């Protein structure tokens, strides 16, 4: 199984796209689009499943892939907004709800420093969650 990066980005028109860079030496490429990050990811997965089926029908070897998703801030916030509220993300990251909302809706773009701050805070939060044991 080959590990590959998949980028998820919000376009200026509000749609979302997913794509795999052409750096893995594969005979095929994959992408997906949608009106939400979820739709774009579902379209990407459908493209992958379709490619696997095509290779199977052609009786050709198919390289199974493991995806590592890389989100731009707008796509991350849009995708995870159903799971994490902006209020919760404010408490986790220290970035105000208003600012996060501007990023999610494409009104503003975070600086590289702010992106690192958000990512670092999310990873620390995830590490804390990994320590939780329920009884």
Q: What is the pLDDT of residue 86?
A: 95
Domains of the chain: 2-71 (3.30.160), 73-130 (1.10.260)
Number of Cβ within a 10 Å radius of residue 124: 12
Greatest CA span in the chain, whole angstroms? Answer: 53
Mean pLDDT of 116-122: 96
Task: Quote the CA–CA distance of 83 and 75 in Å, as a whole number.
Answer: 14
Residues near 81 by beta carbon (within 8 Å), at least 6 away in sequence: 104
Give the model's confidence band at 64: pLDDT under 50 very low, under 70 low, under 90 confident, else very high: very high
- Please give the full DSSP string across 84-99, using - where no structure is assigned: S-HHHHHHHH---HHH
In the structure, what pLDDT confidence band is assigned to residue 122 with cuts at 50, 70 and 90? very high
Digit-coded pLDDT (tens) for 7-24: 999 998 989 999 998 888
Structure tokens given for 14: 């509000």
Res 30: pLDDT: 94
């Amino acid at each position: 199984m080959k590990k590959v990066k998949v980028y998820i980005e919000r376009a200026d028109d509000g749609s979302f796209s997913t794509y795999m860079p052409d750096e893995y030496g594969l005979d095929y490429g994959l992408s997906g689009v949608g009106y939400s990050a979820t739709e774009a990811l579902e379209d990407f997965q459908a493209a992958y499943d379709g490619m696997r089926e095509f290779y199977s029908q052609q009786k050709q070897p198919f390289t199974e892939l493991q995806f590592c998703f890389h989100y731009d801030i707008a796509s991350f916030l849009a995708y995870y907004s159903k799971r994490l509220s902006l209020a919760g993300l404010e408490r986790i990251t220290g970035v105000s709800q208003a600012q996060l909302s501007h990023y999610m809706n494409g009104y503003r773009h975070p600086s590289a420093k702010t992106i690192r701050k958000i990512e670092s805070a999310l990873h620390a939060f995830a590490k804390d969650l990994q320590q939780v044991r329920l009884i």
